[in-house]
Amino acid sequence: MKVLVTGAGGSIGRTLGRGLPRLGHELRGLDLAGEPVPGYDAGWIIGDCLDPAVVDAAVRGVDAVVHLAGNPEEDSLAASLQSHVHTTGRLLDAMVRHGVDRIAYASSNHAVGRTPSGETLTTSARPRPDTYYGTAKVAAEALLSLHVDRHGMSAVAMRIGTVEDEPTTVRQLSTWLSPADAVRMVDAAIGVPAPGYTVIYGISANSRGWWDLGPGRAIGFDPQDDAEAFAGSILPRPEDEAENAFAGGPYALPDLERPAF
């Protein structure tokens, strides 16, 4: 499958560049950065996902889109909507024009970040964003759902946890997504055989995980790694209890509260 990856120069994009070609995919990268990343043998496009000409050229001729681009940090409401919702809209418009019918979207646990811990977090839980970043992810998910209904696309919103080589905090023993499992997740998301809208949680098979992995497994994402392998090297910290109180961890705490305008 020929796949466009936006934000290909980021950490997850680099991970996909190492892993997806081994599974038979041909990758084209789109990023603001100028240096191509290994694994993107189908081309490297420098530009902004907000630029319709850039996006049109990037989408033309691919079979699927993996949308990773966007500011991963909290920002103003307007900037967050532009970074996550407007870019997604540009891509979806181009996909409709060029007949590309499948997209895997890097959503976030922050779309439900204010959900208290204690019970299994299912994908049917109501949106409870913890920040404007999370709010924008909720809006982008809604935009995907709209295009699925209007155009018969296949769209998978991947509510990603913590993507690192290894977990470094107690919370991450629950939320960790290993690089290898990130590749497995995206491979499953772009390979969904039937059209429709799906939300999955992007974490590994963590012993301490409390986010429901059932929807991911239903589309073929079978995570293999477990953060518990690193538990012995993680020292407790005073902030662990507060970070573990909500799905969004530190993003759900008062430090990031600000007016919308």
Q: What is the DSSP letter of 19?
A: H
User: Cα-Cα-Cα-Cα dihedral of 117, 122, 126, 131, to 10°?
Assistant: 50
3-state secondary structure 1-28: CEEEEECCCCHHHHHHHHHHHHHCCEEE
Catalytic residue, candidates 105, 133, 201, 251: 133
Question: Catalytic site residue 105?
Answer: no
Two tokens, residue 172: 């991450």
Q: At what angle do helices 87-98 and 132-151 cross, to 10 degrees?
A: 20
Q: Are 16 and 182 in contact (CB under 8 A)?
A: yes
Q: Classify 204 as helix, strand or coil.
A: coil
Q: Classify 244 as helix, strand or coil.
A: coil
> Which amino acid makes up residue 15?
T
Residues recognised as catalytic: 133
